[in-house]
Chains A and B, each alone.
Chain A
Amino acid sequence: MTPADLRAQGHDAKAIAGFLGSEGVPSGGRVLDAPCGIGRRAIGLAAEGFHVTAVDSNEIGVDAARSRIPPDLRDRLRFLHAARESLPGLGEETFDAIVALDHPIGRQGPGEDVAFLARLIPHIRGDGVLVLELLHRDFFATRPDGFSFHVLADVEQHEFRSFDPVTGILHLTWTFYHREGEDLRHRGDAAARMRLPTPHEAASLLGSSGWRLAGAFGGWSREPVSANRRKVVLVARRVGSTA
């Protein structure tokens, strides 16, 4: 069980599918999911009828995802590995939509983020859509220190966060416990550190990599962006596209 596993429980695949539909990519469309982590959303989107290619730089995660593809989804879901610096590492394939979820940027510098976003450009069909799901800086700036816990089956995850408004860096640390009755048995720890851009900084990163911001939402139901929502969903289209 990894943090990404617990964060993205896949339960929102239906909502993401609805969101893609409202952006002109209904069920049946071709979707690239990069980076896909251990593939919960990719599996969920395939279950919603999309043809999904999912790519990640973590080989173990990709292998685990591949082994969990339900038999009835095999004809429309594939998992591929690509090195982080070449993600998504595909040939000349194009997609109707690209989804980049769970804050895929901000681990390195803005240069790397721009390079990653630019590498996605050749893989979008003319008027296709890029959907970028980010942690929302304003949410964490207004709640710089905090705690939350999540339970999935018999695993309880404790998340401690601290946000530095000067650097814009969010530190997340996780402790994983196995629930035995009401006792919690320690199973492991993990941590992540990422820079959170404001939505307009994210728009600027997109602009520098050949994308044009086409919409910003507070969630998959197209809620307005708000400091009270943990995430922001940005929609971008290729510069020059008419959609």
Chain B
Amino acid sequence: MAMADGGHWTEEIFLRHADLWLAVHERAWASGEEQARDLHAILDGLGVPAGGRILDAPCGIGRHATRLAELGYRTTGVDLSPQFIERARRRAAEAGVATRASFHVGDLRTLPEAVPPTERPFDAALNLWTSLGYYDEATDERILRGYREVVRPGGVFLLYIVNRDFIVRRFEPHGYDAFGEIVHIEDRRLDLGASRMRNDWRFFRKRGPDLDHLATIRIAHRVYSLHELVALFARSGWRAEAAYGGYSRDPPSTDSPTVLLVGRA
């Protein structure tokens, strides 16, 4: 979906207003520690123990990639935003894992181009925090093929993404989030004809009790039911091997806000 100025909403949020989303990433940073431990356990169970090569794309500011490097993996992070990548490199240096965690600016739609040949093939690739469905379905398929291209045969792919069936069941038309001085208000619409969330995101800065408007961004992203993801995996060269409701590996259900789908190359 094009914005008035011709840019896709991902460019609006991740490039033009990267400072706002950077604040979202910073706030989420702490949650990466436990999630990385869960990911480690999952990867280990899939035959990718510490020491393996992991691709995390999009990686944001590296809240999983940095932690996985701390746990002994060699990680490569890719993100569209130069600002996030710069922050990820600094965070990794602060954590003392700069030699095991590398970060590159790149677009998911041309993922193989973003990954240096010296860092591939990967034993596992990760797409976390609902980072698929931003474009059309053909593009999603192409993106998943991109992961397949850089993962070794027998390697794995983990997709952690919002569960359409949960959204349908427990739809919340509005959302509110505050982090630091930033307030984020969401006006959500679920377009059932297209299985797309169409949300207006308004960002404000608190000034005393007032809210100064910073940006309004209209986002549209495809939300998938689990069976659609399984089919999407099959079309793009991944065999769906296991599905969970989240990092804790509960069975997926309509009560799971997310699904974690495991693909095998």
**A184 and B176 in contact (CB under 8 A), knowing A142-B170, A143-B170, A149-B185?**
no
Say whether B211 faces chain A, with CB atoms less than 8 Å apart: yes
B174 and A182 contact, CB distance less than 8 A: no
Nearest CB of B to A38, in Å: 24
Q: Per-residue 0/1 for A186-210: is the Cβ within 8 Å of any B Cβ (1 yes, 0 no)?
A: 1000000000000000000000000
Pick the contact of A147 from B176, B209, B211, B216 — CB < 8 Å? B176
Within 8 A of A (CB), among B199-241: 202, 204, 208-213, 216
A41 to B176, CA, bound (A): 30
A185 to B206, CA, bound (A): 10
Within 8 A of B (CB), among A116-144: 142-143
With a 10 A CB-CB cut-off, give which of B172, B208, B211, B213 has the most chain A CB atoms: B211
B213 and A147 contact, CB distance less than 8 A: no
Secondary structure at the A interface, as helix, strand, loop or mixed, is strand
Pick the contact of B174 from A142, A148, A183 — CB < 8 Å? A148
Pick the contact of A186 from B175, B176, B187, B210 — CB < 8 Å? B210
Say whether B117 faces chain A, with CB atoms less than 8 Å apart: no
Say whether A146 faces chain B, with CB atoms less than 8 Å apart: yes
Say whether A160 faces chain B, with CB atoms less than 8 Å apart: yes
* Smallest CB gap from A182: residue in B: B213
B173 and A184 contact, CB distance less than 8 A: no
Say whether A220 faces chain B, with CB atoms less than 8 Å apart: no
* Smallest CB gap from B176: residue in A: A147
A147 to B176, CA, bound (A): 6
**Which residues does chain A contribute within 8 Å of B172, judged by CB atoms?**
143, 146
Nearest CB of B to A197, in Å: 23
**Which residues does chain A contribute within 8 Å of B212, judged by CB atoms?**
183
The number of A-B residue pairs with CB atoms under 8 Å apart is 37
**Which residues does chain B contribute within 8 Å of A149, judged by CB atoms?**
174, 176, 185, 187
Secondary structure at the B interface, as helix, strand, loop or mixed, is strand
B213 and A183 contact, CB distance less than 8 A: yes
**Which residues does chain A contribute within 8 Å of B213, judged by CB atoms?**
181-184
Pick the contact of A183 from B170, B173, B210 — CB < 8 Å? B210
Say whether A177 faces chain B, with CB atoms less than 8 Å apart: yes
B175 and A147 contact, CB distance less than 8 A: yes
A147 and B174 contact, CB distance less than 8 A: yes
A182 and B170 contact, CB distance less than 8 A: no
**Which residues does chain B contribute within 8 Å of A158, judged by CB atoms?**
176, 185
**Which residues does chain B contribute within 8 Å of A185, judged by CB atoms?**
210
**A182 and B216 in contact (CB under 8 A), knowing A143-B170, A149-B185, A177-B211?**
yes
Within 8 A of A (CB), among B145-186: 170, 172-176, 185
Q: Per-residue 0/1 for B234-265: is the Cβ within 8 Å of any A Cβ (1 yes, 0 no)?
A: 00000000000000000000000000000000
A182 to B212, CA, bound (A): 8
**A184 and B208 in contact (CB under 8 A), knowing A142-B170, A147-B174?**
no
A183 and B185 contact, CB distance less than 8 A: no
* Smallest CB gap from B204: residue in A: A184
Nearest CB of B to A171, in Å: 15
**Which residues does chain B contribute within 8 Å of A186, judged by CB atoms?**
208-211
**Which residues does chain A contribute within 8 Å of B204, judged by CB atoms?**
183-184
A142 to B170, CA, bound (A): 8
Pick the contact of A160 from B176, B202, B209, B216 — CB < 8 Å? B176
B210 and A148 contact, CB distance less than 8 A: no
Pick the contact of B211 from A142, A148, A160, A183 — CB < 8 Å? A183
Can you show 17 pairs from A to B with CB atoms below 8 A apart?
A143-B170, A146-B172, A146-B174, A147-B174, A148-B173, A148-B174, A149-B176, A149-B185, A149-B187, A158-B176, A160-B176, A177-B210, A182-B202, A182-B216, A184-B204, A184-B213, A186-B208
Contacts beyond the supplied A143-B170, A147-B175, A185-B210: 9 A-B pairs with Cβ under 8 Å? A143-B172, A146-B172, A148-B173, A160-B176, A177-B210, A177-B211, A182-B202, A183-B211, A184-B211
Q: Which 6 A-B pairs have the closest CB atoms?
A: A186-B209, A147-B176, A182-B213, A184-B211, A148-B174, A183-B213
